[in-house]
């Protein structure tokens, strides 16, 4: 049952290149299907989330992260009456523009592109679906609906907003994206806050003792122990994370219901003119700040993570220099591009970790991994 404030595919603002409707699927299902069949989506399996892909088979990759975001977003969407296919499309596409080697890779590529307009993974996700995928005879990109593209573009500068036209307008008018887009944003946070604790402990970089400093973790762990006295080890960790996930999901549902009741948006567009309505409660938001700070200090800035992603940054920088100095080392389409630095950035951003490592070895003779 769709709520009045949900996005309705039959009232979509449409695609950049008009297409006849599909006989059996709504427009957002069609977007989701195009994303799943794209080349960029398949590459996510070999792209770093926090841990480099070759460091272990059980860590999250960009692909499994995106699937977890889609699962969380769908389940919240269903209980709020939002459009499940739209949240799934946005969630599966939200990280398509990520470089190899995670945030470290994006920072390195941004440095390389400093004089040429910079590099930002979020803008790049939109660029992938608008320009870079080459699958259709009549247009570049996947020709997705406005609502999916709007959801992919989480933030952008004024200059970019002006350049981007329809999907950029809300940044100039200080309006919000659809509730489905707002939901995907929170589902992304819920997913990584939980799975980074899991991967952090699995890797041995975080310990259960260190997590004593994180109130939200302690609270759900104590709940788990009250119900299952004597539970320990992996099962205690999983049970704590599972409760943390459910707790955040129920919190978003309750806080959002209260915000919807207060603002009473009568349509998807009315919701865009309200303050952000998909939200955590204040208490949960405060607890999550502590968890995020903890992860930043103890996991993302852990010397071992910094060391391996630092090598990834070197790969990105040296690849950028190598292709810029000798474009013929890239596929002909990229080598012939009018804007060479942008073409180099597109080429590198599209690489999986392992392809980047192989290319770097081929071009420099150095073996960094």
Q: Which residues bind Mg ion (CB under 5 A)?
A: 95, 188
User: Which residue, 67 or 213, has its beta carbon nearer to Mg ion?
Assistant: 67
Minimum separation from the CB atom of position 312 to Mg ion (A): 18
Nearest residue relative to Mg ion (C-beta)? 188
**Nearest distance from C-beta of residue 263 to Mg ion, angstroms:** 27
CB 353: neighbour CB atoms within 10 A?
25
Residue 61 has φ and ψ, to the nearest 5°, of -115, 175
Of 276 and 327, which has the nearer Cβ to Mg ion?
276
CA gap 52, 43 in Å, rounded: 14
The label of the residue with tokens 């997590």 reads: 211
Cα-based torsion angle of the residue sequence 179, 181, 186, 188 in order, rounded to the nearest 10 degrees: 160
DSSP 286-348: HHHHHHHHHHIIIIIT-HHHHHHHHHHHHHHHHHHHHHHH-GGGS-HHHHT-SSHHHHHHHHH
What is the C-alpha to C-alpha distance for residues 144 and 78, in angstroms, rounded to an integer?
22
User: Could you tell me the smallest distance in angstroms from the CB atom of residue 66 to Mg ion?
Assistant: 7
Residue 150 or residue 359: which is nearer to Mg ion going by CB? 150
What's the sign of the alpha-carbon dihedral 249, 81, 180, 281? negative
Min dist CB 120 to Mg ion, Å, is 14
**What's the closest the beta carbon of residue 65 comes to Mg ion, in angstroms?**
6
């Amino acid at each position: 049952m769709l709520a009045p404030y949900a996005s309705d595919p039959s009232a979509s603002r449409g695609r950049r290149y008009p297409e006849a409707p599909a006989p059996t699927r709504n427009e957002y299902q069609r977007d989701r299907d195009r994303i799943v069949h794209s080349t960029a989506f398949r590459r996510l399996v070999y792209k770093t989330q926090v841990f480099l892909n070759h460091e272990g088979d059980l860590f999250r990759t960009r692909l499994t992260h995106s699937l977890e975001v889609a699962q969380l977003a769908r389940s919240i969407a269903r209980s709020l009456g939002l459009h499940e296919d739209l949240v799934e499309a946005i969630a599966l596409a939200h990280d398509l523009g990520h470089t190899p080697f995670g945030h470290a890779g994006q920072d390195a590529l941004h440095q390389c592109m400093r004089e040429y307009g910079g590099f930002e993974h979020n803008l790049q996700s939109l660029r992938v679906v608008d320009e870079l995928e080459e699958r259709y005879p009549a247009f570049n990109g996947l020709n997705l609906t406005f609502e999916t593209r709007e959801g992919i573009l989480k933030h952008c500068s004024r200059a970019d907003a002006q350049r981007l036209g329809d999907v950029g307008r809300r940044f100039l008018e200080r309006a919000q994206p659809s509730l489905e887009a707002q939901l995907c944003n929170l589902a992304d946070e819920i997913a990584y806050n939980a799975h980074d604790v899991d991967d952090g402990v699995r890797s041995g970089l975080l310990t259960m003792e260190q997590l004593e400093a994180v109130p939200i973790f302690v609270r759900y762990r104590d709940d788990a122990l009250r119900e299952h006295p004597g539970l320990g080890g992996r099962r205690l960790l999983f049970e704590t994370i599972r409760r943390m996930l459910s707790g955040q999901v129920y919190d978003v549902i309750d806080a959002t219901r209260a915000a919807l009741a207060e603002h009473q948006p009568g349509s998807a567009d009315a919701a865009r003119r309200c303050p952000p309505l998909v939200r955590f409660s204040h208490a949960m938001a405060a607890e999550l700040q502590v968890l995020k700070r903890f992860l930043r200090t103890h996991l993302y800035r852990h010397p071992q993570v910094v060391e391996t992603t630092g090598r990834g940054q070197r790969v990105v920088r040296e690849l950028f220099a190598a292709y810029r100095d000798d474009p013929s080392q890239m596929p002909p389409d990229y080598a012939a591009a009018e804007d060479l630095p942008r073409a180099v950035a597109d080429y590198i951003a599209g690489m999986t970790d392992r392809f980047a490592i192989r290319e770097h070895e081929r071009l420099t003779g150095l073996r960094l991994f």
